[in-house]
Amino acid sequence: MNIIIRTDASIHIGSGHVMRCLVLADALQEKAHKVSFVCRSQQGDMIKLIQERGFDVFSLDEIIPTVQPQSSADYLGWLQCPIEKDANDFLFKIKNADIVITDHYAIGKEWQSIVREQLSCQIVAIDDLEREHDADLILDQTLGRTKQSYPNIKCVLTGSEYALLNSNFATLREQAYGRLVPQKVIKVLVSMGGIDSPNATLAVLEQLVTLNNIEVTVLLSPRAPHYVNVSEFCHKKLNIKQIDFVSDMAKIMLEHDVAIGAPGTTSWERACLGLPSIIIPLAENQLSISKALVKAQSAIIVNLNDIENCLLDCFRLLVNDWYSYYQANLKLCDGLGLYRVLLEIDNLNEDSKHRYRLQNAIEYDTELIYQWQCHPQTRKYALNSEPPSWEAHIKWMHNKIACSNQDYFYLIQDTVTNKKVGVVRLDRLNVNEYLISIFISPDFYGKSIGISAVKLLDILHPKITIRATVLEDNKASQQLFKKAKYYKISADEFIRYPVK
């Protein structure tokens, strides 16, 4: 498909929108889609970086004189021009597209309707602010966000399980399970985003240098207005290392014990790798994310004006309760959101549509799963043929959903009827090694649901080894795993190695 992404970066917008779109664009291009960007030229844009990453960029003319946003929430100021003009500028550059993806707080329903009518394309909207859209698919990766925030949209993906993270994060998450409580020297990662207009970075460093037994890594782009001041400060300190750019953020995060940074996509990156954090909101649109992270007990918030008075006390609190913050972070994001979003974008194309999807089980599903678990057909070939008691099932479900951060528990959902039709689980055995368990609702036998679900695991979990234990007389399941190209290694054992 021909996919066009409309997004911007600037000294006011920051770099987050472009960076998460690049993650998605890389993955779409790997799947043989043609991906191009449309960006407005302005101070702090990232057009050159996007081009260096291998994408064509259609540049919209810079608006002169530059519009200065009146506040961090003046999103129309971010756009630099009226919505209709921006849409028409876009259409002057783009004459055809199968899908247009928008990731811009000033671009919503009005812009999308103009473009859809002209190009007869499908629209994917990436948003964090519960705005109104004319879209076929909406992605809002805000923690705790629900589909009800976007009524009348055909497909809505909400919550941090859809966070757009580079695939390296899911890979290194396996190593993050082995993190240890920091002992003598605490390694601190400071990353306030690509721009950091208020210079929170320097304010944080001025407090951290008063502590003993810490090593600090600072990430700050040369595009940041205070880059020179921060760089000069860092070079005078032996225990502070300043880096302009990293190609593997996951690796850097895994090497540190604590992070101090702005909320945003980096919040989900830190969560995926179990990195306890102090978060400092730099804009109004980051407040809801900050509150959600604090509610989840995965981070401590320090307001910009309170850095001098509160940062060190909060740092000590975080370090003293490091392990609980580590565990809370792991529960928030598994790093597989990119794969989930790609599957749903595939579903916009009828030629590649998947009939089923895998969605995370929630405690609301407890009774439905119990009914399936107790059905004679389910128990017939279960490794334990005795049905569980209701009390035991409730406890088991709670442990699997609320307490586990290393296993995967999915409901299989029909994308046409939205009915839940089965369960597939991956229970962690070892590093990069999981045991699969699958059963289908007896009401939906004979519809190839099992093989569809197992093939979806190949897409969502390509980099792990999956083992299956199947009773020898369970001919249907034996045939299922053979058909799914699992290797039979004994009478009742199958294995799938990482997918190349």
Report the half-sphere exposure of 6 (CA within 13 A, side-chain side).
Answer: 28
State the Cα–Cα distance between residues 169 and 274, nearest whole angstrom: 11
Q: Residue 339: which H helix or E strand, with range? A: helix 337-346
Q: Which amino acid makes up residue 354?
A: H
Residue 142's CB: how many other CB atoms inside 10 A? 21
State the Cα–Cα distance between residues 456 and 436, nearest whole angstrom: 13
104 a catalytic residue: no
Is residue 317 classed as helix, strand or coil in its secondary structure? helix
Residue position matching structure tokens 């970086």: 49
CA 117 to each of CA 87, 88, 109, 313, 448: distance values in angstroms, whole numbers, following the listed order: 11, 12, 12, 55, 38
State the Cα–Cα distance between residues 209 and 207, nearest whole angstrom: 6
Q: Tell me if 269 is assigned to a ligand binding site.
A: yes
Query: Which of 17, 33, 133, 226 does the annotation list as catalytic?
Result: 17
User: Residue 257 in contact with residue 232, Cβ under 8 Å?
Assistant: no
Q: Which amino acid makes up residue 439?
A: F
CA dihedral 459, 462, 465, 468 (to 10 degrees): 10
> Alpha helix (H) ranges present in 220-306?
227-235, 249-254, 265-272, 287-295
Question: Which active-site residues does the annotation give?
Answer: 17
Annotated binding-site ranges: 269
Binding site feature residues for substrate: 269
